[in-house]
Chain A
Amino acid sequence: MLFTSFSFFIFLAIVYVIYWSLVKFRKAQNILLLLGSYFFYCAAAMPQNKIAKLLFNFRFDEAWYSFLKGFDESKWHMLQLLLLLWLSSSFAYFMGKTIGRQKKETTRKWLMALSATVHLGVLCYFKYFNFFVQSFVDAANTLGWQIIFSPEHILLPLAISFFTFHVLGYTFDVYQETYEPADDYIDFITHVAFFPQLVAGPIERAGHLLPQFTNKRTFNWERMESGISQMLWGFFKKTVVADSIGKFVTYVYANDATSSGSNVILATLAFTIQVYCDFSGYSDIALGCARLLGFELLKNFNFPYFSTSLTEFWRRWHISLSTWITDYLYMPISFNKRSWGKWGIVYAAIISFTLSGLWHGAQWTAALWGLMHGIVLGYEVLTKEVRKKWSQSVPTVLYSVCSAVLVWLFWGLSQLVFRSGSITKLNALWARICSESLFTMPYFSSVKDGLMWGGLLFIVEWIQRKKEYGLDLQNTNYMIRWTAYAAIIVIIFSSDNLNNQNEFLYFQF
């Protein structure tokens, strides 16, 4: 069940009506959200037609027969996924309580290490086991040892990277005494599973989200409008821009042997727009959806393509992940190496970003992508003073525009590495770029619609850059506001992509 599917609207409408009818019963609202979130999690992993059947053609006799017949493999898999989510959040709750009760620093440290080992161990098993063993086997075979390895059939549980970081952050906060252990078990596991943020973030912090579950929520029309308009903006980004561009990008990257160099360049630059509209679109829908239920999630994007340095870019792109990495990875490393001065910061940035790359995918290209970012961030730390002098010697607008374009081109280059998915494919794509085919005319017509809407989106976002999101028109004239909403709805429903359920790119992480 994708955010852009019809089933999701039915699900959201049912939850919404029951949720606000229980406004006087906070506990009941939370239990509803827990059950709804677990249903959403299972449905997100279920084929689209099965959810539609469940929502529209539910028959008790069929369901009972199915229950008696027992579980088939896919149902078992779904139950296992749900069990993993429940165990992960329950374990974090009990470890938080245990760490919070302990006064002895050594015991607290051991408990924290145990908790981190369990959470990261589970993540590593599901996400990285085959990758690391295969890499070891490849290295050994290169050295002349003959090792045969058949990869294990391990299905990556949906959202495991997101909820593992969520609960790990909570455990670290409790250990560092920056957050009190959660009291209420139901509130805690609900805040981890809360469906708007479960599948692809934002990676929430207990200190931000959990108090919202323990406090009473009140219905507010302005917040409802704000939630719906942010969701609309997300749907526009995803269905109108990202999905229009996605087909061309997928085609070019799938045909790396025959695609021309110019098409590889065009597809890579188009991918930078696709990945932004896809992921920030998802985040907009998540934030808007949560606001409909009276919650505020962490802001995940702040118009990143207007950044004039990579350091600034990472303060605006996937903010919930970059602040997580900063607090729990970069800070401890840089603090440990603080006697190295600026080089300690460079070292911490390189290590943190390489690991952040691996968080995105169990591939060497993902690690290389992270390493590239770490190195450039290190360069920016070392040249901060020089660049400041440069910026003072040329007009501010010129410097800002050139810097933003450079950041975007570097981002594009790194996305070529990331999107390729393997070193072999990266080499093949690079060979196409370095061939004579670079000077042929690329297929602009294949992406013209996506690029046109993308261009319009960036103009709107530039105008709205001081606001929370592109369609944040709450303080604008009534007529302009509702005309804009109506126009966006018409554009979304006129889009060919609405009928094609394209998965969000960040689901794979």
Chain B
Amino acid sequence: MTQEEVLAHVTEIFKTVLKKEQLSLTPETTAVDVEGWDSLTHVMLIDAVETHYKVKFKLNEVIKFNNVGDLCACVIKKLSA
């Protein structure tokens, strides 16, 4: 699966969880750029991505996510493992 495909899925997941239809994500997007993406919704987003891809992240992995690109890269790594 390519990063573009994962990014498209992740964008849909973010739209659903954050209830923002107009949301657009790039690999460089961070929590600061998205209204409503805070420490309270962060774990809900992680859980939704895990459920969608049927993967499990570790806390150490999640802590190192600096942007959406890091999240997508981790998903790809998990799927190809």
Contact = CB atoms under 8 A, between A and B. Distances in A.
B31 interface: no
Interface residues of B, number: 14
A330 interface: yes
A211 interface: no
Contacts of B32: none
Contacts, number: 39
B63 to A, nearest CB: 5
B51 to A, nearest CB: 9
Interface string A334-356: 11101101101100010000000
A349 B43 CA distance: 13
A302 B54 CA distance: 40
A338 B51 CA distance: 11
Interface residues of A, number: 20
Nearest to A340: B47
B44 interface: yes
B62 interface: yes
Given A311-B40, A326-B39, A338 B64 contact: no
Q: Identify whether the interface residues of A are mostly helix, strand, loop, or mixed.
A: helix
A176 B60 contact: yes
Contacts of B19: 385
Nearest to A337: B43
B46 interface: yes
A449 interface: no
A332 B60 CA distance: 10
Contact of A345 (B44, B50, B59, B64): B44
A335 B59 contact: yes
B22 to A, nearest CB: 16
B46 A338 contact: yes
A381 B43 contact: no
B60 A335 contact: no
Contacts of A330: 39
Interface in B16-70: 19, 39-40, 42-44, 46-47, 50, 59-60, 62-64
B43 A334 contact: yes
B29 to A, nearest CB: 20
B19 to A, nearest CB: 8
A383 interface: no
Contacts of B43: 331, 334-335, 338, 344-345
A338 B47 contact: yes
Contacts of A385: 19
A332 B19 CA distance: 25
Contact of A381 (B40, B47, B60): B40
